[in-house]
Each structure stands twice: as structure tokens, then as C-alpha cells.
């Protein structure tokens, strides 16, 4: 199955699962160095990328759902764009999500770390809705299939509401929104520079 995946998506999947295994073996030292910590609480510049390869070692669903989404949305996007553009897009979304989370953490005076690939995944979700708007996406609950062009704005609004309302405080809702914004900025940039957003 992995051999049929485009190379960048395959590499990201393997890297995330491999690092997750290291987390299970080594534990907190990896998170102390490579999770995204707020400014003044252990932040280092490389964490704006490295945090996206760490997941909650006590919650297997965290990495499982993120990697399933990477497989579902990353595969068609990489085949559409090519590996180079796909990789650039993914990491721009990761960094944009991290910067958004740092900004919110600064205003909230948070001292908690952030980890997970969700910021990059939300960027891919936005791109999927833009390039494949009529493809249907369905959550497990409620099990209602929606076209991608409708699903993504509704999901984004839900994330905004949950972030402002403080719902699920352990979830980095604003990082998700930052990933969406980073993805939108990249798509806009490509449409300005080459008019197509394709190789």
C-alpha cells in the first residue's frame, strides 16, 4: 500500500509514525526539545516545524486521525501538484499554524506546549476543497456527506467558535485556523504568480 503513495506523502507518514514510536520509547525529552513551546517558556525556532512530527503518546487516535487525513487529502493533492509543490505547501501551513498558536499563547499567557500535524492537515483540507470542490467529505459523526466546498468553511467556523469559546482547551483550535490561513495564502500566491496553482 505504501509503495502506491506519492513520495512526499509516504515520507511524511513514515516520519510521523517513526517519531511517534520514538516518543513511546524515549518519552518527555523529545517533547521538551521539539514540541512548540510559548515564547519565554522554552521556545526555539526549529519548533515551528518539529512540533508537527510529534503527537500525544497517550492518545493513539491523535496520530491515527491526523495520518488518515494526510493520506486522504495529501495523496490526491501531491498527484495534482507534484511532490515539490506539495511539500512546500504542507510546511508553509505547518509554520503558519505554529506562528498563529504562538501569537494566541502570548496573549493568553499560556505555558503549554503544542504538538501534532493538524495545522498542516487543515491546510491540505482547504486545498482539497479548492481544487476538488465537489468531492464529498463525511465525518464519523454526524455521518452526513457534504461537498468539500461546503464542508471546509463549516469546519473552519466550528474551529473558530470552539477556539473563542474555550471549548476543548487541550485542542489547538487557533493552530488549525492558522493552517487554513497559511493554505489560503499559498493558493493565492500561486494564482497570482502562475495563474494555475499547478506545477
DSSP per-residue string spanning 55-111: --TT-HHHHHHHHHHIIIIIHHHHHHH-HHHHHHHHHHHHHHHHHHHHHHHHHHT--
**What angle (nearest 5°) sits at the alpha carbon of residue 21, between those of residues 122 and 138?**
30
Answer whether residue 47 shows pLDDT above 80.
yes
Distances (CA, A) of 137 to 4, 31, 73, 118, 194: 22, 33, 10, 17, 29
Give the CATH H-level superfamily of domain 2-193. Rhomboid-like (1.20.1540.10)
pLDDT at 21 over 50: yes
- Positive or negative, the CA dihedral 107, 103, 113, 71 is positive
Tell me the domain boundaries of the chain: 2-193
% of the chain residues with pLDDT over 90 = 64
pLDDT at 197: 47
pLDDT grade for 166, boundaries at 50, 70 and 90:
low
> Over pLDDT 70: what percentage of the chain?
92
Residue 13: how many other CB atoms lie within 10 Å: 20
pLDDT of residue 199: 46
| Structural contact between residues 17 and 95, judged by C-beta atoms closer than 8 angstroms | no
In the numeric block, the cell 500535524 is attached to 117
Residue 35 has pLDDT above 90, yes or no: yes
Q: In DSSP terms, which residues pair with 136 in a beta bridge?
A: 147
Q: d(Cα 4, Cα 166) in Å, to the nearest integer?
A: 41
DSSP H helical ranges for 133-199? 148-165, 173-193
Q: How confident is the model at residue 138 (pLDDT cuts 50, 70, 90)?
A: confident
Amino acid at each position: 500500500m505504501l509503495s502506491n503513495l506519492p513520495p512526499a506523502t509516504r515520507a511524511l507518514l513514515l516520519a510521523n509514525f517513526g517519531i511517534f514510536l520514538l516518543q513511546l520509547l524515549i518519552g518527555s525529552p523529545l517533547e521538551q526539545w521539539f514540541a512548540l513551546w510559548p515564547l519565554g517558556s522554552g521556545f526555539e525556532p526549529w519548533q515551528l516545524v518539529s512540533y508537527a512530527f510529534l503527537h500525544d503518546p497517550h492518545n493513539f487516535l491523535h496520530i491515527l486521525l491526523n495520518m488518515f487525513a494526510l493520506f486522504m487529502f495529501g495523496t490526491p493533492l501531491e498527484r495534482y501538484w507534484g511532490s515539490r509543490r506539495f511539500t512546500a505547501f504542507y510546511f508553509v501551513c505547518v509554520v503558519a499554524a505554529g506562528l498563529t498558536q504562538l501569537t494566541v499563547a502570548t496573549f493568553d499567557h499560556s505555558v503549554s506546549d503544542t504538538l501534532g500535524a493538524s495545522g498542516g492537515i487543515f491546510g491540505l483540507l482547504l486545498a482539497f476543497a479548492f481544487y476538488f470542490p465537489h468531492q464529498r467529505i463525511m465525518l464519523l459523526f454526524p455521518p452526513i456527506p457534504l461537498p468539500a466546498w461546503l464542508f471546509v468553511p463549516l469546519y473552519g467556523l466550528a474551529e473558530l467558535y470552539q477556539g473563542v469559546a474555550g471549548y476543548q482547551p487541550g485542542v489547538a483550535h487557533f493552530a488549525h485556523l492558522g493552517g487554513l490561513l497559511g493554505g489560503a495564502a499559498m493558493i493565492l500566491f500561486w494564482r497570482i504568480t502562475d495563474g494555475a496553482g499547478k506545477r
